Structure 1
């Protein structure tokens, strides 16, 4: 009898450990990574370095947050990097000194992103074409459009008030560290999206479609509209990222954004969002973006070649996907 009780007790402990690991595994991984990097390089734990990492990941994190909507419905968006390029160039065209208020280029960039998202969403939802095919085609369209708008050259001479979006800081007296505007924008986007996905009916619809599209449709969810909307949100946030990128480098660069979509999707997958949809959180996505950012930063501080960073990132993505598959099999 006592043996049976001990066996049950051990089984419960193992189940509790598995449940804890499943729920907080990504956060534990982030903490372990921070501890390892802080031991490996003394400069890692400095506040200035942490702010630098958050600033560096702000664009990829916003892209990843937008991509979370799409992945939760079982889709994928490969056009994010190209949309960043064309929206950045579009915003820069309206950001020359003395021509328009700063809000105009910001709205232009986001608006162009929204239009691309609407185009993608209509084809995916109404024509029932696979999202990776549609977004692959849009990548070429957006790349060509960016070069066409800019005539193949960077759009320079941007207004300082526009550049402040990418390089400005709030607070911090002379000689002190201020809080970067880009980080504030990223946190604002994160909080709004967290609320939408967790506290609204729309958020429940997004999860429902990813979990079982037919069941969601039978329950009265307007599946086509929701599917279109997630691509609008995703590309709209890519437009915001394009504005931030142009402001950050102080030029609208038509060739920028190559590979951005891979970083975004990597953050989403590492953060625990299932590629088949229905499972995942925006908190996990942000932590996934931080893990990628800290790995890149730590390897830079250790003077490790950027080539290794790409290899490590690829291995992490494959590992996260394998973990997702294994988790689904257990269910």
Structure 2
């Protein structure tokens, strides 16, 4: 039953966000793997629309926060409000107490705001004064970054980047998809367009997450997964080029994320076992933001994606 509901949700997302099937699949994988998502792409590629559609397809509340340099931690967490009639302070919840949070242009907020968001992402709680407040069991941060303009931005610290399950890069659609987008914005019905009538209940979502964790992974496939992550830390053993290009590899959190995402992809495809292809498909998105390139790589114009593809080609699959 849960599998059918997720397929309906996938169809709905693809009907609302045209030409971004990898992006919409990553949204569903993040939901199933109980993780946060960082999305990077130029303006106007329906990043906000996709997150809004996901929130409508899941039973829960949605809130969008526009990150700006003057944003304060209390604008996210909430604050204590003084009630003079009672002579006491009462906590007023902020946007982080919603189920799905869109952190728009996350890299435009200063360090204190990032610190408050990091606590929410890592600990599933927020702290105001001397008291901590738990966040909802269903809690997802879907953050966006604009790669075109860096003026007035604050690079995300590595510790916060590591808390994102995946980092997705999206690009402009092709001509045929652009035509469909044009027709959709005019209100025309497209072939195969669907309307999501029944949101996915949270109980069914949690049941699906449990089913994902029970997906079978052979020991050989498991070892392959681990070796891919280890290769980012011992790059020189695989290739002199990799040794020059990589300064720091991925943490064990990457191994956990890769495992969860590969299982979620297998489950979405209707299988009860993980294949090496599942791991290879999610590997770039899971590792893209977790490795640190050397100055030599940057000088040579080598990207993180090129490094990860090199690792995939050198680590033998079972």
Q: What is the TM-score of this pair, normalised by structure 2? A: 0.24
Q: Of Structure 1 and Structure 2, which has the larger fraction of its residues in strand?
A: 2
Query: More relative contact order in 1 or in 2 (CA 8 Å, sep 6+)?
Result: 1
Q: Of Structure 1 and Structure 2, which has the larger fraction of its residues in helix?
A: 1
Q: What is the TM-score of this pair, normalised by structure 1? A: 0.24
